[in-house]
Structure 1
Amino acid sequence: MTPDPAPRPSAATIGVLLGSVVVAAYTGIRMPSRWTATLQTVSLQDGFHRRFLVGTLLRPIAQPTGYAYGLFVAVSFVVLAALVAVLVRVAVTTRIPARRLLIVAFLLLPTGGYLFHEVGYFDQLLYLMFFGSLWLLGRGRAVAAAAMLALAVTVHEIAVLTVLPLFFLAALRASPLRRAVLAVMPAALVGGVILVASAAVDGAGNRLGRRLTDTGFPLRPDALELFGRTQRDSWRLYSPSDVLLFLLPLFVIVVGAVFALARTNARRSRRSAVPIVVWIAAAGAPVVLAAAGWDRERWAFLLIANFCVVVWFLLAEHPPEVGHSSHLVLVAALLLTAHVPLTYFDGYAPRALTADDISDFAERAASGSFTDTPPR
């Protein structure tokens, strides 16, 4: 999602964009949860083989500070702020108005509030690293871009089903198939090794849990229990088919919209186009996460996020004129995604734009209770 050279946008345009950020933040922002903070402590030094990059990098700071919760809060908000800054920057600098509207829509739809509510989750760092890899790829630094995506897999293995397909799509748009495959190969190999190897050495979770408890860290023991379960064990705790059925209508919307947009672009452009199946796969890959865990609303959010990135690319292939049927398809698809309930974690709910909710939020912010450590 690299910015396009463009004339300076109007003050009204910037105002609408920043207003969308404010509304999204108000709707969903909260303090990072104990779950996300606990996962950010996981490191290679402690014997973990998955989701270890953040904890490994933070360990030299976390240990001397006694694993202060504030450290992980700060890191979480820095990542969120950087991700939002990228979205704002590309929206301001794009020369395609439909792209700017796409970002505004993403922020004002339930996805915007969910983005802020997800603060601390590794998903945000994955997409931030993906945007960094696009920046590198656009400057001819394919090896560095591939290395960044390989590192993203060590942040969280779901990178294989979220940002990796998007990166392959971006690489294929910029280079021949062989080079695109080589670009994603390091991340694919790292992902394969991580998924085949054990999640952690025996007892790693218990040892880290005891050490965190001794420091007074707000531990979520069940977050560390993840590393002691096999995928088969996880399937005993939920129904993958039920999660898939929840995602299926959204998946159909995404696939249908991408097919229509990509087919229209292919008909209108004489250039050698990316195969439609690649566009669809990049947008729809997160649906496979139904087999990975029970966070169905989170998977729905990631499905919509991938869809929006794919649409961003499609709008550059052959920008449709205002009023073109492609715009109608896109608007209809985005409005339909709003009918998918993105239920928040831990009993939280989206804040409404009503006087009562705004007053309550202002009171919590003024009293300082907003920054209290979440109970979960």
Structure 2
Amino acid sequence: MPSPTGRRVAILVTCVALAAYTGLRAPSAWTATLQSISLQDGFHRRFVVGTVLHPFAEGSDYAYGLFAGTSFTILAALVAVLVVAAVRTRLPARRALVAGWLVLPTGGYLFHEVGYFEQVLFLALFGAWWLVVRGRWVAGALVMALSVCVHEIALLTVVPLFTLIVVHTLPIRRALAALLPAVVGGGCVLLGSPASGDAVPRLTVRLRDAGFPARADVLEIFGRTQAESLRMYEPLEVLSFLVPLAVLLAAGLALAFAGGPVVGAHRLLALAAATAPLVAAFAGWDTHRWAFLLLANTGVVTWWWLGRRDPDPSPGHARAVPRYQVLVAAALLCTHVPLAYFDGFAPRELTGPAIRAFVSDATSGDLLRTPTR
């Protein structure tokens, strides 16, 4: 008979395999292009990954395989963190949360968006969380400050989650000190120039000469103001898609919190952290990506909440079970919100023809062929 740990690992590996089958693809040309920008080339936003990779990129003549390998490594690390945390937790509800999140459409979407910087951001958050819990809050604060240089969307995703964690864990003055580097760093990134004047044309020429599948629209981001970006789409249309989902998630959390150990300011911070990605509607037009981030933030808040203890271990403590049921119901309702994939891809169905097509693509090499988009 397998041990309890062995059964847990088997269940979670099955969930990971299903998520990978549903959404796995080669990292897009968009993400690979974004990973090629660096401080060395004069870029001042989203530069951390590219700065680390810069010497390897030059040495390999900007081989797509370098950026694809980096993307898959980051994704594998993130999935490993989730699985290890779920296996080690003593709370079955937390384990069920991770398994459910992987089996639901969010799991497939996680594999589909391989290469996007939010995967680095959540790795940074989990690392900073680990440091804070172990009393190394200064190191955790520095990790979060670095996250805003990975991508400024950290201010709407992982920084609100980190705020909840430090306010709950540290004395208020120390919590504010832990948040200060990320806030100051984010302000500098947003207020400063995205890139030096010749950064975009120089990198464009270099990538073209290397035969790299560069996306010109990625580099155009660094030459546009936010006002110019807002004129390219309608934020209210994005909000009209996201608001019902945000309301559903907030209501589910509020009902789950009712009568439990999360009270006062912590409850408000938790709800704000879960729904903060809603503001991304004013930062870009990736509607379904923002919906995924709403679900990701809510998942992290739920994990945090499940680790809280009801202050009264009386028979009334059993009423915590219906609170879990509220979140299960909300998760099932969320499956009615589509998470449309990028670049014409769609989630793979768990059917015979779809499985045969997946095996054919994997064995022929088509699955991981260098993309044009």
TM-score bucket of the superposed structures, by smaller chain: over 0.9
Deviations 1:282-339 (A, max 9, x none): 1110100000000010000000000010010111113775982101111011111111
Following the alignment from structure 1 to structure 2, what is the Cα–Cα distance between the partners of residues 317 and 369? 46
Residues 215-254 of structure 1 aligned to structure 2 (within 5 Å): 215-254=210-249
Deviations 1:203-241 (A, max 9, x none): 311211111100111111111000001111111110001
The TM-score normalised by the length of structure 1 is 0.94
SS at match of 1:264: coil
Deviations 1:153-177 (A, max 9, x none): 1000000110001011111111122
1:193 maps to 2:188: yes
Superposition CA RMSD, Å? 1.5
Following the alignment from structure 2 to structure 1, what is the Cα–Cα distance between the partners of residues 152 and 320? 40
- Percent of pairs identical after alignment? 53
Residue 335 of structure 1 corresponds to: 332
What are structure 1's unaligned runs of at least 5 residues? 1-7
Following the alignment from structure 1 to structure 2, what is the Cα–Cα distance between the partners of residues 202 and 321? 62
Residue 313 of structure 2 corresponds to: none
Following the alignment from structure 1 to structure 2, what is the Cα–Cα distance between the partners of residues 152 and 375? 28
Residues 1-376 of structure 1 aligned to structure 2 (within 5 Å): 9-266=4-261, 274-318=265-309, 321=318, 324-376=321-373
Following the alignment from structure 2 to structure 1, what is the Cα–Cα distance between the partners of residues 366 and 187? 44
* Offset of residue 14 of structure 1: 2.3
* Offset of residue 58 of structure 1: 0.7
Following the alignment from structure 2 to structure 1, what is the Cα–Cα distance between the partners of residues 200 and 253? 42
The TM-score normalised by the length of structure 2 is 0.95
Query: Once structures 1 and 2 are overlaid, which stretch shifts more, 167-176 or 74-83?
Result: 167-176
Report the AA paired with residue 286 of structure 2.
D
Following the alignment from structure 2 to structure 1, what is the Cα–Cα distance between the partners of residues 75 and 109? 12
Following the alignment from structure 1 to structure 2, what is the Cα–Cα distance between the partners of residues 107 and 229? 36
Report the AA paired with residue 305 of structure 1.
A
Following the alignment from structure 2 to structure 1, what is the Cα–Cα distance between the partners of residues 150 and 140? 16
Query: Once structures 1 and 2 are overlaid, which stretch shifts more, 314-323 or 287-296?
Result: 314-323
Following the alignment from structure 1 to structure 2, what is the Cα–Cα distance between the partners of residues 264 and 350? 39
Q: Is the 8 A contact 1:73 1:120 kept in 2?
A: yes
What are structure 2's unaligned runs of at least 5 residues? 311-316
Report the AA paired with residue 208 of structure 2.
T
Q: Is the 8 A contact 1:35 1:220 kept in 2?
A: yes
Deviations 1:170-201 (A, max 9, x none): 11111122211111110010000110111111
Following the alignment from structure 2 to structure 1, what is the Cα–Cα distance between the partners of residues 202 and 5? 56
